[in-house]
Amino acid sequence: MHHIDTVVIGAGQAGLCMSYVLQRAGREHVVLEQAQALEQWRSARWDSFKINSPLAFSRLMGQRDGLPDRQRGLALRTILGLWDDCIAQRAFPIHEKSKVVAVEQAPDGGFRVHVEREAGSHVYLARNVIAAPGTYQLPRIPACAARIGPQIEQYRVGTYTNPSTVRAGSVLVVGGGQTGVQLSEELAQAGRRVYLATSMVKGTPRSHRGEDIMFWLERTGLLATPKEELTDPGERLERLPIVGSDHAISHHCLARMGVTLLGTLRGMSADGELALFDNNLDEHILFAQQGYDELIGHIEDWIARQDDVVRLGFAAPVAEPEWRPHQPLSALPPPTELNLRQAGIHTVIWATGWRADLSWLLIDDVVRALDTHGLPQACDTPVDGFFWLGFHWLRTRASGSGAGFHLDAPYIASRLR
Ligand SMILES: Cc1cc2nc3c(=O)[nH]c(=O)nc-3n(C[C@H](O)[C@H](O)[C@H](O)COP(=O)(O)OP(=O)(O)OC[C@H]3O[C@@H](n4cnc5c(N)ncnc54)[C@H](O)[C@@H]3O)c2cc1C
């Protein structure tokens, strides 16, 4: 047993932000990390991965690196190098390979945090717990994957590395969010025949009027939108939108590259030969386009409300070529069945999303306050001293991203027991 003021669960960007704030406030704490600090970035990305938020939104709190705020598209190795330098300079109290397996309330009103380490198990008695275990923790793979025979290789984010390691032949990418579209683009550019099972995901410009979209989201107040103003509850699940790291991606540009776009993967035939799709590609294309247009409209409305000096300071709008409509895309409905063998598909890549792992949470009042998807809804919980950090829409639209951790961590610090 070890008495401590505050335990932070998870050394991702969110947990490290929290540690920075606690350090500066002189609060005794420990950051418990089941693997290595920033583990998700080390083990759940692919070789060509580039971070898509400009540096202004992807720095760890307090990070000094001398690079411009507008630097974007940094290679994974580069951004990890910057983060590791920052971790080393700040000497955060991180305990790696320390998996939190249970958190329960202690009779004195504090918390018992049970940890498993190589050396054995350990219990912290903490006055406060701040849980930042990440939204994107465990890959979500549909059950129908089990029907696919061994002649087809299956990958997911974390096992896919690059096109040269993928078996010769065509590839079926399942999932049309950010990961699915980026991997489809990479494989098509490497000369692979790619089939993409799309999803209902909003499109996003990468840039507008010469400025990265993240700066527009910040400038126009969208990032700071308080959760009380969330009108569409579906947005709480905020899937990573259709966008590239340093350029736009759309259904249209993928189709121009030769990617065959399909509706949602509904399942596999019992013998695993046929992949079955919904007839909803048109809906997905429309939804993506509407999301894209809404965002541009929001920015343009904001610009129109500014005075002449501000308004004239922005570059003229130039449409992103990736979003130029590709007419043949809507000419014919896509097939709703695909015989994998006949299509020459030797590989399936699952880009079907993630789920959080809160299996360690044994406090009924906190569990009851989770939403219908099992996700936290606020930094505060019904239990004094227990807080969430890093999930979508905890306090603002930014809460689930690097742009919001910096705002939510000081708030939590001000609420600690
Ligand atoms: C494929 C992919 C690409 C992305 N690309 C970008 C991008 O380009 N730009 C961007 O801003 N965002 C991107 N994101 C989103 C990004 O991951 C999040 O915005 C942010 O990094 C999440 O930080 P976090 O600290 O909340 O979670 P995580 O980075 O997941 O950190 C949580 C940490 O908690 C640890 N942990 C979990 N459970 C336990 C436990 N029980 N005990 C101990 N430790 C535990 C985990 O090991 C992990 O290290 C991407 C996400 C994915 C999935």
Query: What CATH number does the domain containing 377 carry?
Result: 3.50.50.60
Q: Are residues 250 and 165 in the same domain?
A: yes
Residue 132 has pLDDT above 80, yes or no: yes
What is the atom index within ligand 1 of the atom nearest the CA of 44?
1
Q: Are residues 45 and 93 in the same domain?
A: yes
Q: Are residues 308 and 408 in the same domain?
A: no
247: its two tokens:
């350029």
Average pLDDT of the segment spanning 311-328? 94
* CA 403 to ligand 1 centroid distance, Å: 13
User: What residue owns the CA closest to ligand 1's atom 29?
Assistant: 12
* CA 137 to ligand 1 centroid distance, Å: 7
Q: Do residues 385 and 417 touch, judged by C-beta distance below 8 A?
A: yes
* Of 301, 320, 350, the domain-final residue: 350
Any idea which of 3-7, 266-270, 328-332, 375-379 has the lowest mean pLDDT?
A: 328-332
Q: Do residues 417 and 127 touch, judged by C-beta distance below 8 A?
A: yes
Q: Do residues 399 and 228 touch, judged by C-beta distance below 8 A?
A: no
Q: Are residues 240 and 129 in the same domain?
A: no
Q: Are residues 109 and 234 in the same domain?
A: no
Question: How do beta strands 207-208 and 211-212 pair?
Answer: antiparallel
Q: Are residues 284 and 380 in the same domain?
A: no
* Digit-coded pLDDT (tens) for 173-183: 999 999 999 99
* CA 380 to ligand 1 centroid distance, Å: 20
Q: Are residues 174 and 280 in the same domain?
A: yes
* The predicted structure's pLDDT at residue 216: 96
pLDDT-derived band of residue 122, with 50, 70 and 90 as boundaries? very high
| SS3 category, 359 | coil
- The average confidence (pLDDT) of the chain is 95
Q: How many domains are there within the chain?
A: 2
What is the atom index within ligand 1 of the atom nearest the CA of 58?
11
Q: Report whether residue 360 contacts ligand 1, using a CB cutoff of 6 Å.
A: yes
Q: Are residues 325 and 398 in the same domain?
A: no
* Of 300, 322, 350, the domain-final residue: 350
Residue 22 has pLDDT above 90, yes or no: yes
Q: Report whether residue 157 contacts ligand 1, using a CB cutoff of 6 Å.
A: yes
Q: Are residues 178 and 242 in the same domain?
A: yes
Q: Are residues 131 and 144 in the same domain?
A: no
Look up the domain containing 276 and give its range. Answer: 140-350
* Of 301, 318, 350, the domain-final residue: 350
Q: Are residues 383 and 281 in the same domain?
A: no
Q: Are residues 109 and 188 in the same domain?
A: no
* The predicted structure's pLDDT at residue 238: 62
Q: Report whether residue 354 contacts ligand 1, using a CB cutoff of 6 Å.
A: yes
* CA 257 to ligand 1 centroid distance, Å: 31
| SS3 category, 250 | coil
**Nearby residues of 86 by Cβ (< 8 Å), 6 or more positions away:** 59, 60, 62, 63, 64, 65
pLDDT-derived band of residue 239, with 50, 70 and 90 as boundaries? low
Residue 232 has pLDDT above 80, yes or no: no
* CA 218 to ligand 1 centroid distance, Å: 21
Ligand 1 test: best mutation among 80, 103, 136, most atoms within 8 Å of CB?
A: 136
Residue 117 β-bridge partners: 120
Of all residues in the chain, what percent are helix, strand and coil, respectively (each to 5)? Answer: 35, 25, 45
